Amino acid sequence: MSRFLHTMLRVGDLQRSVDFYTKGFGMNEIRRTDVPDGKYTLAFVGYGTEEANTVIELTYNYGTEKYDLGSAFGHLAIGVPDVAATTETLRSFGAKVTREPGPVKFGKTIIAFVEDPDGYKIELVQRA
């Protein structure tokens, strides 16, 4: 059976990004692999095992602290039980809130947008 496995994001500070996703979103660090010969480290974070869930692969390339994100990538979307509370938790970790919690235009679904430490946009979608 085919399914999505993971989304890879290049990050400038691996531990800062792991902390953001684990402490801010309640994800778990599933595994970490350091590859000195390749000069990179991978950390996989998510809500469950890779065998049953889609996860995020955070890739740190030695010596690279910042990336140009470009204009093609849109955002990640994460369902949360309380958008307002999650927004405040993420704000306490230094997340930039780019859209405060509230209903989508012409709808009722509560959303917010934040940026992770590397500037990747994340949509929070309220799921009861």
What tokens does 48 get? 């469950």
Q: Which of 29, 51, 100, 123 is catalytic?
A: 123
Q: What separation in angstroms does the CA of 28 have from each of 110, 114, 116, 127?
A: 25, 20, 16, 20
Q: Is 123 a catalytic residue?
A: yes
H helix or E strand, kind and range, residue 113: strand 110-115
CA quadruple 17, 19, 23, 28: dihedral, nearest 10: 90
| The residue type at 28 | N
Active site residues: 123
